[in-house]
Amino acid sequence: MALLQISEPGMSAAPHQHKLAVGIDLGTTNSLVATVRSGLSNVINDEHGHALLPSVVHYVEDGNIDVGFSAQKQQNLDPHNTIVSVKRFMGRGLKDLDVSQLPYRFTETSGMVQIETRAGIKTPVEISAEILKVLKTRAENTLGGELVGAVITVPAYFDDAQRQATKDAARLAGINVLRLLNEPTAAAVAYGLDNASEGIYVIYDLGGGTFDISILKLSKGVFEVLATNGDSALGGDDFDHRIFCWILESAKLTPRNAHDTRLLLSKAREAKEWLTEHAEANISCLLSDGEFVNLTLTTAEFIAFTENLVQKTLSPTRKAMRDAGLTVEEINGVVMVGGATRMPQVRKTVAEYFKQTLLTNLDPDKVVALGAAIQANILAGNKSDEDLLLLDVIPLSLGLETYGGLTERVIHRNSTLPVARAQEFTTYKDGQTAMSIHVVQGERELVSDCRSLARFELRGIPPMVAGAARIRVTFTVDADGLLSVSARETSTNVEAHIAVKPSYGLSEDEITNMLKASFNSAEADKKARMLAEARVAAGAILEAVAMALSTDSALISVEEKQAIEAEMQRLALLKETQDDDAIHKAVEALNHATEAFAAARMNASVSRALAGKNLQDINL
Amino acid sequence: MSFTPALNVDLNLNYFELFGLSPSFNIDLATLESNFRKIQSESHPDRFVSATSTEKLQSMQLATLANEAYQNLKNPANRAKYLLELQGIEAISETNTAMPLDFLMQQMEWRESLEDAKGAKNINALENLLREMQQEAKLLQSEIATFIDVKQDYISATGATRKLIFIDKVVADINKAIEQLEAEL
């Protein structure tokens, strides 16, 4: 009989527990959730056995919010209040979108778009959060417990605003984001591990609304992205739209109301899917004014009027190949991802470009979620046979606005993450104590041709004569691909205060208000939630430090160890009280007490990896 | 976007030491790559998702440093520039821009060929020019290796490095021109 394992009093036994973590593919058309169980990555189905959740949100008359298939059925009946393909609006302004064909009521705003629904004005972040909530509930009901976190996938070509919007949506849905993972990289994980592949692979990912191309080098469990490119507004939806325009033209229809537009778009999508395995598709429906549409679309016609959409994917493909410094002969395999890669003309064009048979043996709809689940399982700390490391890149260069509206590039596209770059600025006037920095993303010379990310206002610069201050601004892009900025006056070592104004994002205040609103405003609820969050944070750090001490306490003196243990004990006691503020402070204190220990551990592990190479001289 | 405390990584650290290499222009790229991966395997933020915030910050700093160091050593022009920096020489600075006349002439010729090919929208001509530049870059790299690794002649190495950096710039411009022409297709 196996002996029971009992942990030390006060110490959690959690390290041996399987932690519930999922991978979520938040798609333009469909979303999925997957998890690793008994070593295998599986998609979690809903109670009817459906893996896909249509990314459709319906604000119902009775005040409920419907998501998925039932919401999809409402898109023709209640188009103003049924939002489809919301992913296209994430981190985007009105002028970025062609809203003329969309049935929604957009409100006038300079920042991220907002849609007027019967439930009030909604941002794409809130609408996406509704989809994420359904997936979270599905996962927790199936797995029988609370999730420790999720890996959420985003198109590789998503810019900072789109990534931040995705992370904010997860926060609103009450999901702890372990990592934002690029969709093609997630697909590579699912594919690479399945096939034990080594070499250079291309992931061609044409989804519902986005196109990504990533080139990866796979070697001994390390997935290194060499280059990525794409088009964050090109996908299967555009093929539907071409068919929709063809219907209007062929049936000589005048512009339609929202209901008919939705109906015809649904018919267009059905026809597209039908044509994957048939030579022609019948399109017939009854419009609201009694007019009957009955048309036949042949594969040849469909290929002809979508040809330039397929060609449009090759331009980013060529750019990525050139950035990676590769020729098609050096590519070991091309993986097809995304439902839109089922279209035969897409497969044919890609196969011809790369001069090889494409890899299509994994379900293109599921492969991203499956890969995300594998990564989530590892990041959550579950022991796994697969020791993999993903080295991803920033898809678009980051720059600053300089004189004359020109862009000064600070971080180049395809730099491996995390990456940081410092830039020095000085003052223009005597006694100047503030300055403004405009950060943009894109490859063009003119600021007006790039995407505005945010304006940073630096305050608290010590007053000096013009040109004397040395303000060192550090731009850091983390492993999620998200930018943060810090600034310091180097001659006086004064930290400058930074106020961030995101151009197409939500401010911290707006998020907080949305979160508060979602607590249903009851003060007690709010308090309970804050306390629960503080306790989770306390539990996590206690566990992390206990683990570290159990393996590496030899790296520190007995006194240092005792000091850490004293803080642990203090926190463990406070954790059982109702005082969330005190718990947070004790977490900070424990963090502080472990600084030297953490540095010693990092040095030791890197030294071990390099076999004897000593890193004492890295001043971290 | 958010605010984070300033990073305190010591940027004077010798990149070669970080990867266990001795400082020279000719390095074993396979060792560089494999040691880069080893350091990332230990320091990448993915390894510290459930760690303390102190450990997260340290992981971020070391992983960032490793990426920076790797990029600098992998690219020949950057590597040469960095080796000269270790000798206290700034290859490209406001006061140090002198170029031999023949190289300036050569550079003007390349620029003209680039403009001509761009004007004629001739992608093939641009690709030929690219190959020519790449060969030129290879020659310069072997010169730099001799100057730095064998002769320790840093003055000559600086001249050659400066040429290599200029060639890299022309190469970037050719690539951009090809990209633009392809976008117009």
pLDDT digits (tens, 9 = 90+) for A556-577: 899 999 999 999 999 999 988 8
pLDDT of residue A564: 92
Considering only CB atoms, which chain B residues are within 8 Å of A538? none
- Given the residues A66, A78, A126, A183, the one annotated as active site: A183
Q: B15-74 belongs to which CATH class?
A: mainly alpha
Which is more confidently placed, A329 or A443? A329
3-state secondary structure A433-475: CEEEEEEEECCCCEHHHCEEEEEEEEECCCCCCCCCCCEEEEE
Query: Shortest CB distance from A381 goes to which of B39, B41, B50?
Result: B50
Report domain extents, chain B. Answer: 15-74, 101-184
In this complex, do B62 and A590 lie within 8 Å of one another by their Cβ atoms? no
Taking the Cβ of residue A502 and every Cβ of chain B, the question of whether any pair is shorter than 8 Å is answered with: yes
Active site residue A87: yes
Grouping H, G, I as helix, E, B as strand and the rest as coil, residue B138 is helix
CB A183 within 8 A of CB A337: yes
Query: pLDDT tier at A193 (50, 70, 90 boundaries)?
Result: low
Dihedral sign from CA coordinates of A355, A357, A363, A369: negative
**From A78, A87, A366, A575, the catalytic residue:** A87
Please indicate if any CB of chain B lies within 8 Å of the CB of A600: no
Percent of chain A predicted with pLDDT > 70? 93
Helix or strand holding residue B33 (H, E):
helix B29-43
Q: CA-CA distance, A615 to B19, in Å (whole number)?
A: 10
CB contact under 8 A, B45 and A594: no
A205 carries an active-site annotation: yes
pLDDT at position A499, please?
Answer: 67
d(CA B13, CA A606): 15
Q: What pLDDT score does A608 carry?
A: 76
Number of Cβ within a 10 Å radius of residue B22 = 7
pLDDT by 10s per residue, chain B, length 185: 333 333 333 445 689 988 888 899 999 999 999 899 989 988 899 999 888 888 888 899 899 999 999 999 999 999 999 999 999 988 877 566 677 788 888 888 989 999 999 888 888 899 999 999 999 999 999 999 999 999 999 999 999 999 999 899 899 899 888 888 877 76
Nearby residues of A580 by Cβ (< 8 Å), 6 or more positions away: A527, A530, A531, A533, A534, A535
Average pLDDT over residues A414-428: 90
pTM of structure = 0.86
**Encoded tokens for A304:** 């002809």
Over residues A281-314, the pLDDT tens digits come to 999 999 888 889 999 999 999 999 999 999 999 9
Report the pLDDT value the prediction gives residue B185, as an integer from 0 to 100: 67
What was the pLDDT predicted at A341? 96
Q: E strand or H helix at A391, and its extent?
A: strand A389-391
Residue A193 contacts residue A176 (beta carbons within 8 Å): no
Inter-chain CB proximity B67 and A319 less than 8 Å: no
Contact: B67, A417; criterion CB under 8 Å:
yes
Give the integer Cα–Cα distance in Å for B33 and A86: 41
Using CA atoms, how far apart are residues A280 and A277, in angstroms rounded to an integer? 9
pLDDT at B13: 63
Residue A183 among the catalytic residues: yes
* Stretch A211-238: mean pLDDT: 92
Query: Mapped to the 3 state alphabet, what secondary structure does A516-569 carry?
Result: HHHCCCCHHHHHHHHHHHHHHHHHHHHHHHHHHHHHHHHHCCHHHHHHHHHHHH
**CATH assignment, B101-184:** 1.20.1280.20
Is A152's Cβ below 8 Å from some Cβ in B?
no
What is the pLDDT confidence band of residue A183, given thresholds at 50, 70 and 90? very high
Mutate: best of B42, B48, B182, partner A, most A CBs <10 A:
B42
DSSP class of residue A15 equals G
ipTM for this model: 0.85
- Mean pLDDT, rounded, for A361-365: 90
> Using one digit for the tens of pLDDT, what is the confidence trace for A485-536?
888 888 887 776 676 677 787 777 787 777 777 655 555 666 777 788 888 8
Whether the Cβ atoms of residue A19 and residue A44 lie closer than 8 Å to each other = no
What's the CA gap between A517 and A150, in Å, rounded?
Answer: 23
Q: Distance (Å, rounded) from C-alpha A543 to C-alpha A537?
A: 10
Q: What pairs with residue A497 in β-bridges?
A: A459
**pLDDT at A416 > cutoff 90:** yes
Q: Chain A: give the shortest CA distance to residue B182, in Å.
A: 7
pLDDT beyond 70 at A16: no
Of residues A471, A472, A500, the one with CA closest to residue A484: A500
Q: Is the pLDDT of residue A612 over 80?
A: no
DSSP A177: E
Cβ <8 Å between B50 and A543: yes
On whether any CB of chain B is under 8 Å from the CB of A307, the answer is: no
Alpha carbon distance B50, B59 (integer Å): 12
Q: Which residue on chain B is closest to A312 by alpha carbon?
A: B183
A590–B52 C-beta distance less than 8 A: yes
Structure tokens at A195: 């096939």
Is A449 marked active-site? no
Q: Could you tell me if residue A163 is left (phi over 0), alpha (psi between -120 and 50 degrees) or otherwise beta?
A: alpha
Residues A36-50 have a mean pLDDT of 93
Q: Is A37 helix (H, G, I), strand (E, B) or coil?
A: strand
Structure confidence at residue B3 (pLDDT)? 34
Q: Give residue for tokens 């039932």.
A: A70
pLDDT the model gives residue A294: 92
Report whether pLDDT(A4) > 60.
Answer: no
